[in-house]
Amino acid sequence: MIITWLAKIIVAINSNVKPSQVCLGVCFALMLALIPAGVPAVPSANLLWIAFFIVTFFLKVNQGVECVFLVLFKLLVLLVNPFVSAVGYAVLSRPFLFDFFTALSNVPILYFFHLNHTLVMGGLVLGIVLFAPFYLLSGALLKLYRDSLREKIANSKLVKGFLKLPLVNTLSGIYTRAADFYAGIR
Amino acid sequence: MGKTPKTFKAPKLFAGEFSAEQFQKKFLKRIYVKEYREFLNKEFLKNPKGLYVLKPGLDKKEAATLKKIAKSIKQNTGFVLKGKLILVLVILGAVIVFNLLFKDALAERAAETGLEGVFQARAEINGLKFQPLRGRIYLDSLAVADAEKPFSNLFELGKTEVAVNMLEVLKGNVIIENIESREIKWDTQRRSSGALPGRKSAQPQAAAPTTAGQEEQAGAKGPAQAAAPASDPFAFLGKAEGAAAGLLEREKANLKSSALLDELNKTYPALADKWSVKSKLMSEDLKELSPAIDAVSAIKVDSINSPEDAKKAYDAIEKASSTVNSAKKDVDRAYSEFGKDLDKVKKDKKAVSDAIDGDFRHLKSFISPDSGGGSFVAPLIESILGKNIARIYTSARRGLSYAASLKPKSKGKKEEAPGSHTRGFFVQFPAKTFPKFWLKNMGVSFGSEKEDHTSGGIKDVTGEPDLIGAPATFDFKNVMGRQLLGVSGFYDGRRGKDTVFDCDASLKNYSVTLTDGLQSLGIDRLECSSDAEIRVSIDDRNRTSGTIGIALRRIKITGSSAKNGISSRVIKALQAADVVSIQAGYSYSESGAVKMKIKTNLDKIIGDIVNAAVADAEKRLKKEMDNLIGDKLGQYDSHYADLLKTDGSFLDDKKGVGGYGKALDDKKKQVDERMAKLQKDATKKGTKELKKIKGKMGF
């Protein structure tokens, strides 16, 4: 699975994939990493997380990028959870937002979004705030790679030698078949 | 001729001519890899018109690269995966269409098949609405045939609904919006056979004149209505009726007056004789004083003219006084002793009177109702109602314990302290919180509304009533012909509520049959129509109180074998009464001590009859008691009269001796006055003579 995702990333950044698809993959991964999928002490899953996850299925978002970055961001978010929670609490405890959140709490389906949890609200706010910067940053990095670095790396002896390894050849074949199948059902 | 190299076809996307602007917009702008852009620029040439066209004679590698580029260009257009979206929309559309057109029909058929499999007979469901997202199943009617009697239905349901709040179910709460089934019937007729094809059916049966439900209800009525009191409420009437005859004989040994009279009649004769003799002797002694007194009386005071005469008179008086004083002392001493005995006799007289009164009261207690001076029917009703109220009380308390068990048990879960940002926490807003379990409405009815029917329902049943802000309510109604039974009330488990449970029951035109407990009245069976209003209320300290109002009408007594007068009079009075009303108020304390207050017109209806009967019995009793102690009392009165007579004799003697003393005192006084007069006259005469002598002598 991880190899498939890595292969997808390699394909995405090296092939003619639209940069926005890659950038959206990174941004949604950040959003999904910041928002907890489940809230401690609550049995049901977080519907907000599920909603975002489902949305990405209908958008042209690079799934491989999204999944790999989701894992990476998730690891990082564990370190900054107290900060995320603090941000959420800062938002939830704003007096002028009290009526708004009270009304929100009384909307039946929104209960399952757990918006009154500090990690959820903090993750959502940070996700929204960081969406645009991460989009632009990842786009710029991708452009830099494709325009300047890609050819150099592809032509380097290290990569060429690596690609000639039998295991890599086999994996490449597997990936190609998988990618074709994926494209077929897509 | 040389072999022409094989050319490959380019993708359709690149077929045709493109202006520079089109070439830029359609291709180059959608290519993000530098090599691909350079490749396209190389593959496209400008024709004489200045338009871009694909160069002819593509080799295999070029064609493959172009194919790959064309594919990526297609994939890079737009932001939405139209294929997936369309697929989901199609699925959603299919679900909606299925919901609208087939879901209910399929669910209906599936339910019918399931029921037919279970009951092995035809099942028919009409108007089924299956709404899984709303957690609701509704049907207009359901009929399941009886496999053994194909022209009868095993049971039928009218409008039926089960609705659960699905959102709350997802939260782990069970909120039942409604469970309702109306017009439940069984063993009803069918127009067509309910036998399943291929199954051997029994012969069609004639329509049953009554439904099994009606039979069951009728059967259920019997024991409930024939609830007979365990004790005989009119047993005391028999006591008044038969009254005194054996009673006096039986209680003879316990009568104090008889024993007392026996004792006094033993001691009084000797006492009377003793004082009678003493009194006679005293009288005779006094008679012996008469000569001395007569002698003194005979002294003529005017004839005393000398000191010698006076001395004689004084001596006679002195002698008589001495004798009289001695006699007086004897009389006083004797009367003093007699007085002591007389005081005892007078006390005995009061004791006799009290003993007779006490004995009569004792005997009367056997023939009088235990009315305590008030209503004598009330204690009897109290004993009957008491048992039923105790049952109501026990049932209500049991119901409360069931209700209390609905309350969720505290698991002692520790709430995470706010401020723990590592795992985050919930910031609470005043949102509506639902209880873990809440049965909003449950209703059921048996039979048709137009005919005899039974219906009932409960609302707002939950273990956390504070969260819903309402008490649990219930109601039950049973209509059978003119008979109506209604019960309604509430259980309020909310904090700070004074009344925890309250229930009103109402019965109209209910026929009551009493067969036991009336034998003393000679009644085998008492039937009547009754209306009743019963109220039970339990407060937060477990104190129970309530009222009971009963009105009995059209009392009909059959199989009466009343033999005695009172019973027949009471029966006539009961049958003639328009209404017998009983009002009771009762209360149970925290410890279970019961208090009851009863008001009834039965006192008025049969009270006069019973009171007259009791008065008659008392008269007879009095007469018999007089017969029993009359002789003894006569003897006692005679002895008492003798003693009083002796007292009179003593008093006469005292008076007589007193009269003697006074006569002597009077006579002495007269002699004293005579002596004083004589002395005065002598002094006057001496002075006159002295003056005469002085004159004669020349002084």
Residue of B nearest to A61 (CA): B79
The label of the residue with tokens 């209880």 reads: B435
Q: Which of A142, B47, B513, B199 is nearest to A134 (CA)?
A: A142
> What pLDDT does B229 receive?
40
| B36 → chain A, closest CA residue | A16
**Pairwise CB contact (< 8 Å): B421 & A118:** yes
Which residues of chain A are within 8 Å of residue B40 when distances are taken between CB atoms? none
For chain A, the maximum distance between any two Cα atoms, rounded to a whole number of angstroms, is 64
The Cα B317–Cα B674 span in angstroms is 15
For CA atoms B365, B369, B375, B380, the dihedral sign is positive
* B84–A118 C-beta distance less than 8 A: no
CB contact under 8 A, A102 and B431: yes
Of A33-47, B92-106, B550-564, the range with the lowest mean pLDDT is B550-564
Per-residue confidence band for B8, with pLDDT thresholds at 50, 70 and 90: confident
Smallest CA–CA distance, residue A82 to chain B, in Å, is 5
pLDDT at B664: 86
Confidence class of residue A186 from pLDDT cuts 50, 70 and 90? very low
Q: What tokens appear for B454 in the block? A: 């039974």
CA dist., res. B60 & res. B410, Å (int): 77
Residue B325 CA to residue B157 CA, distance in Å, equals: 120
Segment B185-192 shows an average pLDDT of 87
Q: How confident is the model at residue B590 (pLDDT cuts 50, 70, 90)?
A: confident
Map residue A122 onto helix, strand or coil.
Answer: helix
Whether residue B425 lies within 8 A of chain A, CB to CB, comes out as yes
Q: Which of A37-41, B141-145, B175-179, B668-672 has the lowest mean pLDDT?
A: A37-41
pLDDT at B228: 37
A-B CB pairs within 8 A amount to 116
Strands B437-446 and B174-189: parallel
Report the pLDDT value the prediction gives residue A89, as an integer from 0 to 100.
93
Distances (CA, A) of B336 to B333, B339, B408, B492, B651: 5, 5, 92, 83, 11
What is the SS3 assignment for B402?
A: helix
Residue B400, pLDDT above cutoff 90: no
**Is B428 in contact with A18 (Cβ distance < 8 A)?**
no
Nearest CA in chain B to A183: B75
What was the pLDDT predicted at B204?
45
Tell me phi and psi for residue A29, to 5 degrees.
Answer: -60, -40
Mean of the per-residue pLDDT values for chain B? 81
Q: Is the pLDDT of residue A96 over 90?
A: yes
| Residues of B whose CB is below 8 A from A94 | none
SS3 B370: coil
pLDDT of residue A145: 87
Average pLDDT over residues B29-43: 84
First to last CA, chain A: 18
B428 touches chain A (CB under 8 A): yes
**Is the separation of the CB atoms in B500 and B493 below 8 Å?**
yes
pLDDT of residue B214: 41
Which tokens sit at B417? 């302290």
CA distance A156 to B505: 96
CA distance B145 to B123: 6
φ, ψ for residue B357 (rounded to 5)? -60, -45
The nearest CA of chain A is from the CA of B549 a distance in Å of 49
Which of B231-235, B243-247, B645-649 is the least confident region?
Answer: B231-235
Q: Is the pLDDT at A47 greater than 70, yes or no? A: yes
DSSP string, B410-443: P--PPPPPTT-TTT--BPP-------SEEEEEEE
Asked whether the beta carbons of B237 and B613 are under 8 A apart, the reply is: yes
CB-based burial label for A87 (10 Å; 0-12, 13-18, 19+): buried
Q: Does residue B1 surpass a pLDDT of 50? A: no
Query: Is the pLDDT score of A76 beyond 80?
Result: yes
Q: Check residue B365 and give its pLDDT.
A: 78
As a whole number of angstroms, the distance between CA A84 and CA A93 comes to: 14
Using CA coordinates, name the residue in chain A closest to B77: A18
Interchain pair A116, B429: CB under 8 A: yes
In the three-class reduction of DSSP (H, G, I as helix; E, B as strand; rest coil), residue B171 is classed as coil
pLDDT, residue B473, reads 94
Q: Please tell me the predicted confidence (pLDDT) of residue B290.
A: 80
B428: nearest CA partner in chain A = A116
pLDDT level of residue B565 (50, 70, 90 thresholds): low
Check B84 against A57: CB less than 8 A apart.
Answer: yes
Task: Judge whether B417 is closer than 8 Å to chain A, CB to CB.
Answer: no
- How far A33 CA lies from chain B's nearest CA (Å)? 15
What average pLDDT does this structure show over B575-602?
85
What pLDDT score was predicted for residue B390?
78
Tell me if B83 and A85 make a contact (CB, 8 A cut-off).
Answer: no
Phi and psi at residue B186, to the nearest 5°: -140, 160
**Burial category of B617 from C-beta neighbours within 10 Å (exposed 0-12, middle 13-18, buried 19 and up):** buried
A120 contacts in B (CB within 8 Å)? 424
Residue B431 has pLDDT above 80, yes or no: no
**Predicted TM-score (pTM) of this structure:** 0.57
**Mean pLDDT calculated for residue range A40-51:** 80
Residue B498 near residue B540 (C-beta atoms within 8 A): yes
Give the closest residue to B532 by CA, choosing from B587, B481, B487, B490: B487
Of A59, A89, A150, the CB nearest to B427: A89
Percent of all residues in chain A with a pLDDT value above 90, rounded to a whole number: 41
The interface pTM score, or ipTM, of the predicted complex is: 0.80
Residue, of B364 and B232, whose pLDDT is higher: B364
Minimal CA separation from B407 to chain A, in Å: 22
Nearest to B170 among A18, A112, A120 (CB): A112
Cα–Cα distance list, B162 to A148, B15, B179, B660 (Å): 67, 64, 5, 121
What is the pLDDT, as a whole number, of residue B224? 35
pLDDT at residue B342, rounded to an integer: 87
Kindly identify which residue of chain B lies nearest to residue A99, measuring between CA atoms.
B429
Q: Please provide the DSSP assignment of B34-82 as one string.
A: HHHHHHHHHHEEE-TTS-EEEPS-B-HHHHHHHHHHHHHHHHTS-SB-H
Four-point Cα dihedral A57, A59, A63, A66, nearest 10: -100
Q: What is the pLDDT of residues B310-361, one digit of tens each?
A: 888 888 888 888 888 888 888 888 888 888 888 888 899 899 999 888 888 8
Distance from CA of A146 to the nearest CA of B (A): 7
Residue B245 has φ and ψ, to the nearest 5°, of -40, -75
Where do we find the tokens 């708004």? A100
Q: To the nearest whole angstrom, how far is the Cα of B89 from the nearest Cα of chain A?
A: 11
Average pLDDT, chain A: 84
pLDDT digit string, tens, across residues B251-261: 777 888 888 88
| Inter-chain touch A17–B427, beta carbons under 8 Å | no
